[in-house]
Amino acid sequence: MEIYRFEDINRFYERSHNYLLSDEAHHCLLLRIIHGLIHSPERYEFPAYLALVEANGAIIAVAVRTPPYKLVISQVKDFAALQVIAEDLHNQQALLPGVSGLVEEAQAFAEIWQRLTGTTYTSGIQMRIHQLSQVQPTAKASGYLRHADVGDLDLVLEWFEAFFLEALGFVEEDLQRLVSLQLSKKIIYLWEDIVPVSIASGKISTPNGGWIGPVYTPVEYRQKGYATSCVAALSQALLDQGCKNCFLFTDIANPTSNHIYQTIGYQPVCDWHDYAFENLSC
């Protein structure tokens, strides 16, 4: 069993893409991060950790971290590979804020990291990956989908801050820079009914798929079908651009959003867990 680390994102993707694309839905977050590193490197302020583990010439695990965020791990063919990844990071004196991955993989890595470093861990948000290949007809809310532009910056910042606080309990430190970048790339959308009433980000993020999220509707505009129509229209737009599938994450503890997305045509694929190490935030 051997670990290989890469500094060149294109070489890393060349080596890992067949493994990741063998189960695109399970690996949609990893593929999205890699897509961002290739096509929007200016988003990332620090060098990424890019690693894969091979046994008998075949990849059995992939791991990516873009500081200051958590480590993201792939579906693993042999859980011994997680020990190899943990030891490699520990040897680099990496201070990990946490790990994110499929349920068994994420928990196994958290336990390994705790044994290796003495760092305690706590369970974070429990999510579910959904996949859509065809938008189902639903009742359309009043209004229409449009791109957000620079004139919407203050509104987008306000709503994204509210989303992160509500969903994750924290706000990204460089949110304004990230929002400005996303606005310039035209990947933020608003559902407008005289005034903006709902927001979603969406873009092509894998060779065959699009990514949607975050999605947010202010409290005063909820229960009116705006988020449903916003996500349905954006999903269709991505399919029209050539995506075979669209992916999104939902909070398992939020039955409303899970139901909304399933009425549009999103089907649950797998669960995805998040663990935080000690009192570090990411």
DSSP string, 98-120: EEEEEHHHHHHHHHHHHHHH---
Q: What is the pLDDT of residues 36-95, one digit of tens each?
A: 999 999 889 899 999 999 999 999 999 999 999 999 999 999 999 999 999 999 999 888
Residue found under tokens 């304004």: 176
CATH architecture classification, 135-264? 3-Layer(aba) Sandwich (3.40)
User: Over 60: is that where the pLDDT of 181 sits?
Assistant: yes
Using 50, 70 and 90 to split pLDDT, how confident is the model at 280? very low
Query: What is the pLDDT, as a whole number, of residue 174?
Result: 83
Question: What b/e string do you get for 125-152 counting C-beta neighbours within 10 Å, with b at 16 or more?
Answer: bebbbbbbeebeeeeebebebeebeeeb
DSSP string, 136-171: PP-PPPSSEEEE--GGGHHHHHHHHHHHHHHHTSS-
What region, left, alpha or beta, does residue 201 occupy, with left being phi > 0 and alpha being psi -120 to 50 degrees? beta
Distances (CA, A) of 194 to 127, 144, 221, 223, 241: 33, 9, 12, 17, 27
Q: Where in the chain is the domain with CATH 3.40.630.30?
A: 135-264
Using 50, 70 and 90 to split pLDDT, how confident is the model at 130? very high
pTM: 0.92
Of the listed ranges 25-29, 238-242, 276-280, the least confidently predicted one is: 276-280
User: Over 70: is that where the pLDDT of 281 sits?
Assistant: no
175-184 helix and 153-167 helix, angle to the nearest 10 degrees? 130
Query: What is the pLDDT, as a whole number, of residue 255?
Result: 85
Per-residue H/E/C for 164-178: HHHHCCCCCCCHHHH
Average pLDDT of the segment spanning 23-30: 97
| Separation between Cα atoms, residue 237 and residue 248, nearest integer Å | 15
Using 50, 70 and 90 to split pLDDT, how confident is the model at 210? very high
Mean of per-residue pLDDT scores for the chain: 95
Of the two residues 255 and 98, the one the predictor is more confident about is: 98
CATH architecture classification, 2-127? 3-Layer(aba) Sandwich (3.40)
Distances (CA, A) of 268 to 103, 247, 262: 14, 10, 8
* CA proximity to 53, closest of 121, 5, 117: 5
User: Over 80: is that where the pLDDT of 167 sits?
Assistant: yes
Q: What is the pLDDT of residues 90-121, one digit of tens each?
A: 999 888 999 999 999 999 999 999 999 999 99
Contacts of 219 (CB under 8 A, 6+ apart): none
